[in-house]
Amino acid sequence: MISTASEFIYRAQVGAKVLASRALGRLRHAEGKIIPLRFYRDADGWFVDLPKWPGPKAALAMVEGADTFLERLGKRNPDVLVEISTKPQPESEWFTVNFVQRHPAGDGAYYRTLHFGQPHDMWLCGVTEFVLGRMPEVIYVRDVCTRTRIRRQFDTDVVKGHEPHVPN
């Protein structure tokens, strides 16, 4: 049972964000595609750069382990480029992030990777459903910066025709 008005408002906001993310994500038909993503760190923390995201920047924040994951993956660089997919990819170039459990408030889920040689847990919020259309059992990830050693321009419907987000 919801105990306070503020908790009710919080749950309503989370519910609206998750439903909108899920609906918009399914319309994008991302299943099985390789999706490029850019993450950046600014004075407020880590964020995913989603030019087509209709909500506030705060909803794109990477927290609860996702931030430290990006610090490690990017070797402390403030810009990290990856490709993700829900379709199995070659293990030599890709690593996995595996579903652990749904978030208690229904906003995304907790995931775990062994990419760094030991378990690293993180929360991926409902914006994941905006990108992938669902919270998959496995997300395949390839670190583009490390793999190519250069930044590259992506050509997909996720960022096509948009300049990278420049924080205020």
- pLDDT tens readout for residues 14-31: 555 555 555 555 445 566
Label residue 148 by pLDDT band (50, 70, 90). Answer: very low
Confidence check: pLDDT of 153 > 80: no
Mean pLDDT of 74-98: 93
Interior CA angle at 89 toward 138 and 77, to 5°?
A: 80
Q: Are 132 and 30 in contact (CB under 8 A)?
A: yes
CA 93 to chain centre: 19
* Residue predicted with more confidence, 142 or 52: 142
Q: Are 144 and 83 in contact (CB under 8 A)?
A: yes
Whether the predicted model's global pTM rises above the 0.85 cut: no
What's the pLDDT at 20?
Answer: 55
